[in-house]
Amino acid sequence: MTLPFDVSRNGNEATLVIRGSLDINTAPALGEEIDRLVVTRPTKVLVDLVGLDLIDSSGVAALVKLYKAVRAAGGQVTITGARDQPLAIFKLLRMDKVFNL
Amino acid sequence: MTLPFDVSRNGNEATLVIRGSLDINTAPALGEEIDRLVVTRPTKVLVDLVGLDLIDSSGVAALVKLYKAVRAAGGQVTITGARDQPLAIFKLLRMDKVFNL
Amino acid sequence: MAPPIRLTLPGTLRYRAIAVRAVAEAARLVSGSTQRDPNDALAHDVRDPFDTAVVSAFMEIFNNVAIHAYSRDGEASTIELTITPDADQIMIEIKDHGVPFDIDGVAPLPEELDEYTLPEGGMGIHIAKTMLDEVVYEPGPPNLWRLRKHLSAPAQQLRNGSSK
Amino acid sequence: MAPPIRLTLPGTLRYRAIAVRAVAEAARLVSGSTQRDPNDALAHDVRDPFDTAVVSAFMEIFNNVAIHAYSRDGEASTIELTITPDADQIMIEIKDHGVPFDIDGVAPLPEELDEYTLPEGGMGIHIAKTMLDEVVYEPGPPNLWRLRKHLSAPAQQLRNGSSK
Ligand SMILES: Nc1ncnc2c1ncn2[C@@H]1O[C@H](COP(=O)(O)OP(=O)(O)O)[C@@H](O)[C@H]1O
Ligand SMILES: Nc1ncnc2c1ncn2[C@@H]1O[C@H](COP(=O)(O)OP(=O)(O)O)[C@@H](O)[C@H]1O
């Protein structure tokens, strides 16, 4: 199964592009990717959600985990491009403020 | 309901762009559009199917009707961009030869 | 083996998309195709040859039941679907309580196609039979369609466009 | 009034997309949103605020039934959905034969959210209740969820992101 995300690195900066549906079936694989990313202690992580169509609370939890882990290691997380259903979920959970959406 | 097609005119030439699903629910409206188009006797009609995801036999029938009517009036029909499921259907019906796909 | 999926819905075209989407997702369970190609901005839902065959055939049979077995405007009862996605095939049973018909009386498509003989109808059953390994119709009531498609080597047939 | 749509499927995450797609199409029958925006190359399926609310809530409840009522790896029985799309509302009933629980014992989300209190779980029921007009749980067996969403003024609530 092709997974709906990919990670690219540029020195200390990482870009994570997430597409399609980030849900209870796809979030576990993203979680593993995040674990691998976090141990490299990136100073900046850009999360691009323009291609993200649907998210559920498992997907939100994966993003929160990423956010906390990068911040705890002194890095910055920027989440951009959230729209439609994912944006509605972030707003409902009042995460839009924390995530700066 | 926004319909999955639009028509543009440039003198005697018409372009018909069809997107999404051309099926038993959407083909009747396309049929009416075709009727309106055909009475203007275009010499060239370009049918762009790049955005067409799904077609059923009602959709095929609408395209055949367009093809025959324009040809009968001495015009040319060019069908381009068919892919995936629609292309498989045209091939199965051996219309790819006639339609020059 | 998992129990089959059952979907019962009103037998009209209004509900068609619900049935088509359910069948598309069930086909994906067999073909293993992802729902979307993440590298494809167009994000087409039905691309895999197996999914294409199953969805194409199902759309035709559903249309026919809604239009012919149940008249387009008349009183429609329900359509009952039983979808069984297995490791290497999908089985779909479609039951309706409408008018039975004689499937052997359906005229075949013309052998030679040119721009004058291009058909404007009568393609549905031909599409279903060509796309699938098995299309069985048992007149009722209830009328029963049994559709079956194996996973093995479906791509080749589609790519060749042969109408076996 | 048309009879409801009934969908019965194995209660595991493997079948989730089938249920989610069926619910999305049923929501569309109520909201009148088209399946795809023909001018949008990305062709998002769920954009309308009503569809968004219904699909978001349903995904959470389906996940919970598959994970909590039926254990992720254990023996799962079926999930039975009854979907009733009316002119101005949708009703969804979800029945499972798994372990009942006490919904009143579910802890609410923290009032103040900052980067330290961001939750990594416990959001599902909150999402469902906030998105819908009615979320009723009746422990069984069978356990029953009853979800209801009216069409009127759903957009405003979503845009404000209020969590009423
Ligand atoms: N489910 C059905 N119930 C009753 N009659 C049917 C059914 N399916 C097909 N038919 C009959 O068979 C004919 C051929 O069907 P088909 O090949 O799908 O083409 P079309 O529907 O375009 O005519 C139909 O015109 C109809 O008379
Ligand atoms: N359908 C269910 N059956 C049994 N327990 C459930 C069910 N739904 C929710 N729960 C319980 O309620 C808790 C909160 O659920 P929820 O808000 O969806 O968050 P999460 O599932 O992320 O924990 C779950 O952790 C679980 O203990």
User: C52: domain CATH number?
Assistant: 3.30.565.10
Does D74 reside within a domain? Answer: yes
Shortest CA distance to B94 belongs to which of C123, D6, C94? C123
Does C69 reside within a domain? Answer: yes
Mean pLDDT computed over A55-81 = 96
Does D87 reside within a domain? Answer: yes
Closest chain C residue by Cα to residue B70: C115
pLDDT-derived band of residue D36, with 50, 70 and 90 as boundaries? Answer: low
Shortest CA distance to A69 belongs to which of A99, A39, A94? A39
Mean pLDDT computed over C79-92 = 97
Point out the residue among C9, C22, C42 whose CB comes nearest to the CB of D43.
C42
Query: Does the pLDDT value for residue C74 go beyond 70?
Result: no
Å from CA of D122 to ligand 2 middle? 7
Report the domain count for chain D.
1
Phi, psi values for residue B84, rounded to 5°: 50, -135
D65-123 residue pLDDT tens:
999 999 855 677 999 999 999 999 999 999 999 999 999 999 998 888 888 889 999 99
CA C22 – CA C58 distance, rounded (Å) = 11
Half-sphere CA count of B10, side-chain side, radius 13 A: 6
Residues on chain A touching C36 (C-beta within 8 angstroms): 4, 19-21, 53
Report the domain count for chain A.
1
Does C130 reside within a domain? Answer: yes
Shortest CA distance to D15 belongs to which of B90, C83, A78? C83
Phi, psi values for residue A89, rounded to 5°: -65, -45
Ligand 2 pocket, residue D47 CB under 6 Å: no
Question: Which residue has the least CA distance to atom 25 on ligand 1?
Answer: C122
Closest chain A residue by Cα to residue D114: A98
Mean pLDDT computed over A84-90 = 96
Å from CA of B33 to ligand 1 middle? 26
Mean pLDDT computed over C124-142 = 97
Shortest CA distance to C43 belongs to which of A23, B87, B19? B19
Query: Does the pLDDT value for residue D41 go beyond 60?
Result: no
Rg (CA), chain D: 16
Residues on chain D touching C42 (C-beta within 8 angstroms): 41, 43
DSSP state of D108: P
Q: Is B39 on the interface with C (CB under 8 A)?
A: no
CATH number for the domain spanning B9: value is 3.30.750.24
Contact check, Cβ <8 Å, C10/D3: yes
Q: Going by beta carbons, is chain B in contact with chain C, meaning 3 or more pairs sit under 8 Å apart?
A: yes
CA B47 – CA B91 distance, rounded (Å) = 17
Query: Does the pLDDT value for residue C68 go beyond 90?
Result: yes
Residues on chain A touching C38 (C-beta within 8 angstroms): 2-6, 19-20, 51
* DSSP calls for C120-151: SSS-HHHHHHHHSSEEEEE-SSSEEEEEEEES
Does D164 reside within a domain? Answer: no
Q: Which domain holds residue B74?
A: 5-98
State residue C73's pLDDT score.
Answer: 59
B31-81 residue pLDDT tens:
999 999 999 999 999 999 998 999 999 999 999 999 999 999 999 999 999
Q: Which domain holds residue D89?
A: 5-159
Question: Which residue has the least CA distance to atom 19 on ligand 1?
Answer: C122
